[in-house]
Amino acid sequence: MKLSLRNRIRTAAIASGLLCAVALAPQAHAASDDAMTGIHAGDVLVRLRAISIVPNVDTSGTMSALNVSVNNAIVPELDLTYMIRDYLGVELILGTSRHQLTSSIGALGGVNVLPPTLLLQYHFNHAGRVRPYVGAGLNYTLFYDNGLHAGGQPVSITNHSFGPALQAGVDVQVTKSLFVNADIKKIWMHTDASLRGEALGRVSIDPVVVGLGVGMRF
């Protein structure tokens, strides 16, 4: 009888231990998943992309009569996102490119464009491996190193503009800290041109920016 009671106690202890292990296993797995995937308030996301800048040019005045166009460009882009909520982030985008302008009378030269952009982002499925997001914000565009000319005369341009920006993209977690990213943005920017003090009209570049890259979560 004592042996039977001892065996019962041992069996109950083993069964209890197995039940505890089964009950705790999903929690441990979930904790592992949480550590592996997702973003949370306080996280910093750093992305490096290769971007293709495709201007959607609109012109006015003489610039329109000259059929002025702006070439595409492929450049690197760096962005930093700080998560102020699990699902809400603020992103600063940094990159610069040089664009050549052409017209019906020939090449007009080139100008550099620096459009730092600040966006408020909403992240869907923030706790998952695949995390789409959308964003909206404001860009300040600086035009510098102006090499534009016409008829042998330098063309002056306004050196800055403000405009809205829209964004959509997705992050896909690869490891605990590393993810890949695809992103598309629409940015509104413009400059006004003049020649020897006479207004030539406005050039609105308003590019679509498509990017692919990698990111790190800190």
Instruction: Give first-to-last CA distance, the chain, whole Å.
Output: 62
The distance from CA 5 to its chain's CA centroid, rounded to whole angstroms, is: 67
132 and 25 co-located in one domain: no
More confident call, 30 vs 48: 48
The whole-chain average pLDDT of the chain stands at 87
β-bridge partners, 29: none
Dump pLDDT digits (tens) for 54-101.
999 999 999 999 999 999 999 999 999 999 999 999 999 999 999 999
209 and 135 co-located in one domain: yes
90 and 111 co-located in one domain: yes
What is the pLDDT at residue 73? 96
Report the alpha-carbon distance of residue 123 to residue 128 in Å, rounded.
10
Whose CA is closest to 141, among 166, 168, 112, 120? 112
CATH of residue 180's domain is 2.40.160.20
Mean pLDDT of 21-33: 42
Q: Are 121 and 133 in contact (CB under 8 A)?
A: yes
3 and 82 co-located in one domain: no
18 and 99 co-located in one domain: no
Q: Point out the least confidently predicted range of 27-31, 137-141, 191-195.
A: 27-31
12 and 101 co-located in one domain: no
β-bridge partners, 86: none
Whose CA is closest to 172, among 118, 133, 119, 117? 133
Report the alpha-carbon distance of residue 216 to residue 116 in Å, rounded.
20
Query: Structural domain of residue 6, as residue ranges?
Result: 1-36
122 and 24 co-located in one domain: no
Percent share of the chain, pLDDT over 70: 83
User: Which three-class secondary structure string do you get for the chain?
Assistant: CHHHHHHHHHHHHHHHHHHHHHHHHHHHHHHHHHHHCCCCCCCEEEEEEEEEEECCCEECHHHHHCCCEECCEEEEEEEEEEECCCCEEEEEEECCEEEEEEECCEEEEEEEEECCEEEEEEECCCCCCEEEEEEEEEEEEEEECCCCEECCEEEEECCEEEEEEEEEEEEEECCCCEEEEEEEEEECCEEEEEECCEEEEEEECCCEEEEEEEEEEC
Other beta carbons within 10 angstroms of residue 90's beta carbon come to: 15
153 and 105 co-located in one domain: yes
What is the pLDDT at residue 36? 62
Mean pLDDT of 29-55: 81
Q: How many domains does the chain have?
A: 2
What is the pLDDT at residue 22? 37
19 and 123 co-located in one domain: no
pLDDT confidence of 151, banded at 50, 70, 90? confident
Task: Output the pTM of the full model.
Answer: 0.79
1 and 56 co-located in one domain: no
